[in-house]
């Protein structure tokens, strides 16, 4: 039996640079494992959506949906789960990409490359969500980044949650100035787009780039992470039951890092 297809499902964006960045990411995923069919799709803004991507597969081909999303909110728990339940084949939804220590290390490396110093403060710029679970995921990443760097890190949300990014930057600036430091914003955003522009438009001294760039190959760690999410639910006969529970399988030992 062929391996389940990987459906790499991102949010979607109207930004041409964001679209190129995600397309380059999906192409890199396909190159890494040429034995697995890899297709990209979107939960919002762009097409194809999950149902369209499934329709493009051979009818009896099982699939694993890996959300190219940094936290698990409404899109993961509702939209993608609904698509899995309604599918005409076995479909499982993997975990969102974050929280994950590898993302924390990537964020930390970019801040260090930007010259992070002991007196600086960091604000983690998150997209934000009305779903409490997604907000808690972002707070967990900020706490992990704080511990890793040894400097104060707090989250700031661009939309739908508090503190708002502008307020978080303002609060951090008061503390940073007292120590002769700067405010650095770490963009916890997957790709260029409207939210990345908003993050750059604030009053921080420096804003790092999103995790993906339009015309660059994605970091290997992100490719590894997507395939790890796939492997958590693809092996072990998990497709023998009825299609579409939409529930992720328990993490494998490999994923607990």
- With a CB cutoff of 8 Å and minimum separation 6, the contacts of 188 are 70, 98, 103, 107, 124, 125, 126, 127, 138, 141
Which CATH number describes the domain made up of 5-98+215-255? 3.40.50.1400
Q: Residue 67 is inside which H or E element, if any?
A: strand 63-67
Sign of CA dihedral 217, 20, 222, 64: negative
Contact 12, 242 (CB under 8 A): no
Output the CA angle 150-152-154, nearest 5 degrees: 130
What residue spans in the chain does CATH classification 3.40.50.1400 cover? 5-98+215-255
Tokens 């930004």 belong to 15
CATH topology of domain 101-207: Rossmann fold (3.40.50)
pLDDT of residue 236: 55
CA distances from 215 to 7, 17, 25, 37 (A): 22, 8, 10, 24
Residues of the chain with pLDDT under 50: 237-238, 240-257
pLDDT the model gives residue 243: 37
Q: Write the CA distances from 33 to 28, 211, 223, 256, integer angstroms.
A: 9, 21, 10, 22
Is the N-terminal amide bond of 163 cis, ω within 30° of 0? yes
Residue 146 contacts residue 152 (beta carbons within 8 Å): yes
Residue 256: its pLDDT value, please?
31
**Strand, coil or helix: what is 71?**
coil
Provide the whole-model pTM.
Answer: 0.89
What's the pLDDT score for residue 77?
A: 86
């Amino acid at each position: 039996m062929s391996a389940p297809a990987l459906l790499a499902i991102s949010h979607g964006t109207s930004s041409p640079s964001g679209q190129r960045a995600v397309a380059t990411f999906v192409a890199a995923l396909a190159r890494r494992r040429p034995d697995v069919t890899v297709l990209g799709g979107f939960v919002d803004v762009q097409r194809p959506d999950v149902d369209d991507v499934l329709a493009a597969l051979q009818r009896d081909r099982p699939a694993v949906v890996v959300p190219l999303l940094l936290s698990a909110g409404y899109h993961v728990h509702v939209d993608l789960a609904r698509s899995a339940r309604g599918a005409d084949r076995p479909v499982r939804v993997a975990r969102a990409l974050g929280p994950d220590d590898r993302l924390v290390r990537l964020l930390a490396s970019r801040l260090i490359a930007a010259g992070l110093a002991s007196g600086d403060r960091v604000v983690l710029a998150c997209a934000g969500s009305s779903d409490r679970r997604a907000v808690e995921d972002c707070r967990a990443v900020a706490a992990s980044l704080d511990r890793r760097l040894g400097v104060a890190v707090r989250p700031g949300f661009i939309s739908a949650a508090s503190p708002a990014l502008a307020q978080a930057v303002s609060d951090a600036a008061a503390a940073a100035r007292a120590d002769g430091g700067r405010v650095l914003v770490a963009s916890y955003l997957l790709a260029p787009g409207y939210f990345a522009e908003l993050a750059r438009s604030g009053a921080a001294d420096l804003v790092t780039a999103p995790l993906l760039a339009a015309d660059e190959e994605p970091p290997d760690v992100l490719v590894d992470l997507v395939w790890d999410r796939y492997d958590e639910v693809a092996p072990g006969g998990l497709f023998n039951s009825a299609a579409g529970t939409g529930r992720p399988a328990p993490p494998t030992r490999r994923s607990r890092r």
